[in-house]
Amino acid sequence: MSKLRTAIIVDDHPLARLAIRGVLEKQRITVINEYEDGATALEALTKTAADIVVVDVEIPGVNGVELVEKLRARQFTGVLIVVSAKKRSLLQQTLRSGGR
């Protein structure tokens, strides 16, 4: 039996979250929660374990780059998937911070 894989989605756009959820669920990944901003997600991730975090670069509060940096600083060992519809410069910065 394969290990249950879990994910958290962090994106302020409801349609984007819905699309990401659909992609993850097709891969048999269970989405355990969704957040609209980085600060709320960061707080939740100190209490909840997830194998995968999908984060938009441009989210309110703690942005995607900062969220990735803070999660890596807290020794988060899961997969961080960073998405962006726009700003390539922020995406590059996030990759340097440990996102994929």
Domains of the chain: 5-97 (3.40.50.2300)
- Residue pLDDT, tens place only, 59-82: 998 988 899 999 989 988 899 998
Q: Can you tell me the distance from the alpha carbon of 42 to that of 89, in angstroms, rounded to the nearest whole number?
A: 23
Region class of 95: left (phi > 0), else alpha (psi between -120 and 50), else beta: alpha
Is pTM, for the whole model, over 0.85? Answer: no
- Residue pLDDT, tens place only, 11-57: 999 999 999 999 999 999 999 999 999 999 999 998 888 999 999 98
Integer angstrom CA distances of residue 81 from 1, 3, 44, 57, 100: 25, 19, 17, 10, 5
> How is residue 53 written in tokens?
């975090």
